[in-house]
Amino acid sequence: MTLADMGARVIKVERPNGGDMARGNGPFIHGESSYFLSVNRGKESIALNLASPEGKALFLRLVDKADVVVENFVPGAMRKLGLHYEALRRRNPRLVYCAISGFGQTGPYARRPALDVIVQGMGGIMSITGEGPGRPPVRPGASMGDITAGLYAAVAILAALRERDRGGRGQMLDISMLDCQLAVQENAFTRYFATGEVPQPLGTRHPVFTPFQAFQTRDGWIVVAVVGGVNDQWPLFCAVIDHVELIDDPRFKDGYARTLGYAALEPVLNEAMRRRTTDEWLAEFSKVGIACGPVNTIAQVAHDPQVAARGMFVDVPLKTGSRRRAKVVNSPVRMSRTPPSVARGCPALGEHTRAVLGEFLGLTPDDVRALHERGVV
């Protein structure tokens, strides 16, 4: 979807009977899955039975003209169909083939199925998310297993296409969801290797810098991030919360020392932050240049003036030609000459089968109709 936002023509290949299982996920907007819409906008859909010889032959002919093939089957599934990278490369040496799977194409777990929550659990991120040691593991509020793998795949695809411009050949990209979970936790693993200490959940706190967290105020919550290092903002923070005695306390001399001594510091900070409202703290911290912000609900974010100014929500048609529209999140990328475009909703199952097969393979409407009657499309 990220590539489609930036101008790529993305053709989704689905099963003729039922299509992508995500189409059945609620809640629904006028009969359409809001979940499916959120991750499939801007794509085209063709229905193709890859298990049939005719369907496989059509897919291979489409591959001959493709720049990129992306699949997310359990490793070995595409080989059983005869549609693995080596087979496709022989037909189209310039093809970039991106395989996204739970654990990658190699290793003892390679053939295991996996979904988002599986790799979040196995990758360690759930063990460091939550309120503290002894509490149950917590899944982050977004599908970090799926999203990070998709973003790394998009980066890898763009890099492979750029390299193809020079080398003239495509290549296979092996993206493991589990690997991607480790990549976004680089600091947790580096700290573990450096100290031997197993990272623990810290709520909203940072494992190195303090204060760098959410605090309860008189009427809500605020997040505050004090920059340490050479230009430590700790004295400014202490002055704002009216605890100047903490400035020269050797236990809190820098960000890491404050983290190590947090048990003594926590009750003082919590008590001080409850004295004022969120808006009052926002005004005070902003005066001295300390980064801060409210803890917003999704509803509050949806109506935030900064979000509105950036145009981060757009309306798209629910179906091609439909007057009914749905609001979705816009691409966060801003480009001066070729900005991303989010103008189309998600496709109906097989909506573009006739058009795609006609454009790329020269099939007539009667040809496609005959394929449909035989269960190929």
Active site residues: 206
Which residues are CB-neighbours of 259 under 8 A, at least 6 positions away?
205, 206, 207, 208, 209, 210
E strand map for 32-91 = 32-33, 44-47, 68-71
Nearest-angstrom CA–CA distance, 18 and 15: 6
Q: What is the largest CA-CA distance in the chain?
A: 84
Side chain identity, residue 349: L
Match 């309306």 to its residue by tokens: 315
Nearest-angstrom CA–CA distance, 175 and 72: 9
User: Half-sphere exposure (CA, 13 Å, Cβ side) for 22?
Assistant: 14
- The values of phi and psi at residue 223, to 5°, are -105, 135
Which residues are CB-neighbours of 52 under 8 A, at least 6 positions away?
374, 375, 376
Which residues are CB-neighbours of 296 under 8 A, at least 6 positions away?
304
* Tokens (6 digits) for 286: 């902003």
Nearest-angstrom CA–CA distance, 210 and 258: 6
Q: How far is CA 304 from CA 213, 298, 301, 362, in A?
A: 21, 10, 5, 49
DSSP state at residue 250: G
